[in-house]
Amino acid sequence: MAQAYVTETGSGGSESDRRGSRLRRLYDSLRGDRGIWRRGLVVAACAVVLALVMVLHAQIPNTIGNLGSLVETFLPWLGVFVPLLLALGLVRRSATAVIAVLLPTIVWLNLFGGLLTDRAGSGGDLTVATHNVNADNTDPSGTARDVAASGADVVALEELTATAVPVYEKALAATYKYHSVQGTVGLWSKYPLKDVRPVDIKLGWTRAMRATIVTPFGEIAGYVAHLPSVRVKLAAGFTAHQRDKSADALGEAIADETLRDVVLLGDLNGTMNDRSLSNITSQLRSTQGAAGSGFGFSWPASFPMARIDQIMVKGVDPVTSWTLPRTGSDHLPIAARVKISATAS
């Protein structure tokens, strides 16, 4: 008996024996703790509310400060509260809280767990990229070179200024033989462009365009758009009304498109979860969601928190999608490679 006692608790015991002994003592103390189910009820309630917000985010009304759209814009970030609640439950030694935290964990994984895997494929016919270059960019030439270095066949730029356009045209001329600038957006392509025209998104000036890209694999309708910015203000809430109006107009233009294959490139100032972009997202799918790796956040460049820059497609198959290195802009450029059907027309 004395030898057995030394083996379990004495200095001569192995590390696994000592760890097992500590776990047994912890288990015995918790088993005798009658308050383990009564403590942490507030933490448990918070976990349930968090799970409900994620499950029912589409039911949160937009009538007051566009609260629903605001929650949906940063919906993935609600997951950061899960480890916090778990830690609080452990500190409180509350079985109720720890079990309750499983609810938001399961919901978050159901909503976003698929984005944690690498969905990228290989092959593809066409590489496209888009970048909000920022009107205050102090190095437009360097930004243009960085985007061209991605190897993209087609590049869309947003937030172009009249003074910066010649700089971008000069920097990109050697790589892209064809281009068109409409208002504050532009499209550069290695392949011919035709049927180029501005798209009215109800702003009074041009921030969207459409062109037919004549690729060796078939013709594609290429749209470039920069939807109005949104702000979070204490008195007004999430000021997205103008953005929502422009998104509806852009969706209508895409719905009227006669070509089967469509690529939308641009800064939509909204995420795929935002219901206010449904007139667009109901028609097109995100290359990041279909063939990306991770969330692909693009803004702000210093600490990306949301993917408001989008590459969306219809009729073509996303193969891979990725975020490019930071430039002189406050947005990150993004790129995708797609496969075009042999029957494209």
| Contact in structure between 220 and 193 (CB atoms under 8 Å) | no
Structure token digits, residue 135 = 């009107």
The whole-angstrom separation of Cα 39 and Cα 295 is 36
Structure token digits, residue 319 = 């193969």
pLDDT of residue 6: 47
Burial 147-158 (b: 16+ CB within 10 A, else e): bbebebbbbbbb
pLDDT of residue 123: 92
| Contact in structure between 328 and 143 (CB atoms under 8 Å) | yes
207: CB partners within 8 A, 6+ apart: 158, 183, 184, 185, 201, 225, 226, 227, 228, 246
pLDDT in tens, 323-334: 999 999 999 999
Residue 303, classed as helix, strand or coil, is coil
Classify residue 58 by its DSSP letter. Answer: G
Structure token digits, residue 203 = 């702003």
Which of 75, 71, 91 is closest to 83 using CA atoms?
91
Strand partners, 317: 339
pLDDT of residue 9: 46
What pTM did the predictor assign? Answer: 0.86
Tokens 């270059």 label which residue? 133
Domains of the chain: 33-116 (no CATH), 126-339 (3.60.10.10)
- Residue ranges in the chain whose pLDDT is less than 50: 1-2, 4-10, 344-345
pLDDT of residue 233: 67
pLDDT of residue 329: 98
